[in-house]
Amino acid sequence: MGLVLEEMSSGWSEAADRVRPSLVHVLSHGRGAGAGTIWHALGLIVTNAHVAGAGRLTVRCLGGAEYPATVLARDHRLDLAALAIEAEDLPAIELGASRQLRSGQLVLAMGHPWGIAYAATLGSVIEVGESLAALPKAEGEWIAVSLHLRPGHSGGALIDVHGRLVGINTLMAGPDVGMAIPVEVAKRFMQQALARRSASRTRLAA
């Protein structure tokens, strides 16, 4: 049993190490606001709408590089926002499949809780889908997880043991219940944001 636990622990540590370069700080007016996840190597970041508030935003990457960020799209109903920075060859996260998650499956929440940078918090899936018991008044699709999301986790990555993105950390629904937006919901939102960015660049080049 001890060897099994050691191997499992090592696997999760390796997953966290793979994902950390894809995790960013999102700073509002120079102050910490939350986390974000690199979606595309050409400077596309996904985060929560409540993290990408009004005013000047800056994205800080793992190595300390900082970039002014532009809000490409924001949906308060979904609590998702797409940010753009002028950067290339960024370490984009690998996408997973949240609809394959099952109750009891372990997941890892990445973020900057209470200012602790690039932290990893292990928990398990409670429920996936719409109208969850953990958040009965919420609309749309959610992942309920048995882990304590804290301020600074918002916008960060919820990952599986392979380091693949399965959700975007969003809010606390109770002392030890966190809620994340499924990656499939984020995919649809980010595809629209990327199309909008491409159209904008085409108009500027014309």
The SS3 call for residue 165 is strand
| Active-site residue, 50 included | yes
| Active-site residue, 146 included | no
Are 159 and 40 in contact by the 8 Å Cβ rule? The answer is: no
Nearest CA-CA partner of 91 in 17, 21, 183 = 21
The SS3 call for residue 184 is helix
Residue of 22, 98, 146, 154 with catalytic role: 154
Distance CA 109, CA 164 (A): 11
Residue of 28, 50, 124, 148 with catalytic role: 50
| Active-site residue, 154 included | yes
Residue of 22, 25, 79, 146 with catalytic role: 79
Which backbone phi and psi does 30 adopt, to 5 degrees?
A: 80, 0
Are 9 and 126 in contact by the 8 Å Cβ rule? The answer is: no
Distance CA 76, CA 78 (A): 5
The residues assigned a catalytic role are 50, 79, 154
